[in-house]
Amino acid sequence: MDHLLIGIDGGATKVSAWVIDQSSNGFNLGNAHSHKIYSDFPSFDPGFTPVNIRTQLKEIDSIINPTQSEQNQGQTIIAAFVETISELNTGKTMIIGIGMPGLKTADSRGIMAMANGPRMPLFSNDLENALSTKGIKLATPIQHLGSDADYCGIGEEYAAEGLFKSIHNGYYLGGGTGAADALKLDGSLIPLDQTKSWLLKSWEMVNQDHVALERFASIGGIQSVYSQYSGVSTTTLNADNIYPNFILERAIQKEEPALKTFVDVSLNLAELLFERIETIFSGWSGRFGMINPNREIPSSEHPFLGTILDRIIVGQRLGTLLESSKGFGILWEPLIYQLGNLIKQSDRLDTKAKSAYLVNSQLNSNLIQISTLIDAPALGAGIDATLTYSKNDKVHE
């Protein structure tokens, strides 16, 4: 490859970048990796308060004028990106793909609203200019800022070890800082922004107790469930580095709060995955409530009715946690048992669907698979950038 391909996952607190390698089998994360934590930079403002999200949303249809505080914090984030990219610089021209949280501008190169950070409507312009002053050359301007969820799906479709590539219909649930959903239906990746009329994203739903479903799929959410049962604040848990992997160890040692935590997690994850199976097959049935009560109720009609999933993929740190729990009867086995029962009892799945999902009345052991893709959003970002570059190159030939 003539250019250096870099995939970047820009989060609320840090930026992580990888060199992406391409072979005849697909794409892989390379050996070179760099990450920076924004708060390590002297110009970072630890007391930064985002503009009220409702104010941000009101202003998205007008010219966005970030406050001085937002501009300063935004420049710190740009500086972190520049340092991260500089550490991977080999002198080759670069193709850069970036995933970022927040609502994107009309040209998809900036951020016009972000709940946990500054608005940066000229993000890509500012980053390109900063890289240029460092002598770093780009093969093409940054085409667009993507989302974690979409990039997880792209990674699973095009990576050498991707679990979407060999199937026709699949659902992906990634759990990290938040929950990420990706879909492949009728052989094509379908961004969830295109399915919002009939399918809710995981973070949009609440269970019967009005608790957000994302809480049981995200690392911070699982930690907060444990905090409630243990009576230990999340601040203390963070200070002591007690994250879900350690909470799982405590559950294996039969600690009561940890065991209760994973009872809740396995049950709610089973319900969430079942909602995906049922909604894709037979349409929305109101199984869960909605975070935003003013959101339009999903339609029970959609173009993919009758679709049976070939595979459910669980990725990121949630996938790692599930894999670690196998054999202990704590998270993986209850999840499989409960999901199998929900499918068995469903009056909205027909015999054909049930026979695909169940083998001898037990959940098909091939249905749920754990993704091994480390840093899937960064991988997908890099893949998306080079695919977009190649497509544009062909158009100009």
Query: pLDDT of 237-281, one tens digit each?
Result: 999 999 999 999 999 999 999 999 999 999 999 999 999 999 999
13 pLDDT tier (thresholds 50, 70, 90): confident
**264 C-beta neighbours (distance < 10 Å), count:** 19
Backbone angles phi, psi at 349, to 5 degrees: -105, 135
Cα angle: 303, vertex 309, 315; to 5 degrees: 115
Report the pLDDT value the prediction gives residue 1, as an integer from 0 to 100: 60
Report the share of the chain in percent with pLDDT over 70.
98
Report the pLDDT value the prediction gives residue 396, as an integer from 0 to 100: 47
pLDDT value at 75 more than 70: yes
Contact 231, 176 (CB under 8 A): no
CA-to-CA separations, 280 to 212, 309, 367, 378, in angstroms, rounded: 21, 8, 15, 28
CA-to-CA separations, 136 to 17, 125, 129, 382, in angstroms, rounded: 15, 14, 10, 17
Task: Report, as an integer, the average pLDDT of 28-37.
Answer: 94
pLDDT value at 394 more than 80: no
Element (H, E) at 377: helix 376-396
Distance (Å, whole) CA 15 – CA 56: 23
Span(s) in the chain for CATH 3.30.420.40:
4-147+378-396, 163-370
Mean pLDDT of the chain, nearest integer: 94
Which of these, 79, 144, 195, lies nearest to 381 by C-alpha position?
A: 144
Positive or negative: CA dihedral 387, 123, 204, 323 = positive
Burial 381-393 (b: 16+ CB within 10 A, else e): bbbbbbebbeeee
205 pLDDT tier (thresholds 50, 70, 90): very high
Q: What is the pTM of this model?
A: 0.90
pLDDT per position as a tens digit, 335-382? 999 999 999 999 999 999 999 999 999 999 999 999 999 888 999 999
Q: What's the token pair of residue 63?
A: 């010219």
Distance (Å, whole) CA 164 – CA 161: 9
Q: What's the token pair of residue 101?
A: 């949280």
pLDDT per position as a tens digit, 311-344? 999 999 999 999 999 999 999 999 999 999 999 9
213 pLDDT tier (thresholds 50, 70, 90): very high
Contact 320, 332 (CB under 8 A): no
- Secondary structure of residue 312 in the 3-state scheme: strand
From 110-114, 115-119, 195-199, 364-368, the region with the lowest mean pLDDT: 115-119
Report the pLDDT value the prediction gives residue 58, as an integer from 0 to 100: 86
Distance (Å, whole) CA 13 – CA 309: 35
Placement of tokens 């990420």 in the chain: 180
393 pLDDT tier (thresholds 50, 70, 90): low
- Secondary structure of residue 374 in the 3-state scheme: coil
77 pLDDT tier (thresholds 50, 70, 90): very high
Domain 163-370 fold: Nucleotidyltransferase; domain 5 (3.30.420)
307 pLDDT tier (thresholds 50, 70, 90): very high
**214 C-beta neighbours (distance < 10 Å), count:** 22
Backbone angles phi, psi at 172, to 5 degrees: -120, 130
Distance (Å, whole) CA 241 – CA 238: 5
116 pLDDT tier (thresholds 50, 70, 90): confident
With residues binned 3-state (H G I as helix, E B as strand, rest as coil), the percentages for the chain, rounded to 5, are: 40, 20, 40
CA-to-CA separations, 10 to 64, 81, 102, 133, 354, in angstroms, rounded: 21, 8, 11, 21, 40
pLDDT value at 228 more than 90: yes
Contact 193, 337 (CB under 8 A): no
Report the pLDDT value the prediction gives residue 172, as an integer from 0 to 100: 98
Contact 118, 50 (CB under 8 A): yes
Which of these, 308, 226, 231, 321, lies nearest to 264 by C-alpha position?
A: 226
Report the pLDDT value the prediction gives residue 233, as an integer from 0 to 100: 95
60 pLDDT tier (thresholds 50, 70, 90): confident
- Structural class in CATH, domain 4-147+378-396: alpha beta
- Enumerate residues 6+ apart whose C-beta is below 8 A from 368: 273, 311, 312, 313, 314, 335, 336, 339
Distance (Å, whole) CA 21 – CA 385: 13
63 pLDDT tier (thresholds 50, 70, 90): confident
CA atoms within 13 A on the CB side of 209: 8
Distance (Å, whole) CA 385 – CA 387: 6
Distance (Å, whole) CA 21 – CA 19: 7
Q: What's the token pair of residue 233?
A: 């604040």
Distance (Å, whole) CA 169 – CA 20: 26
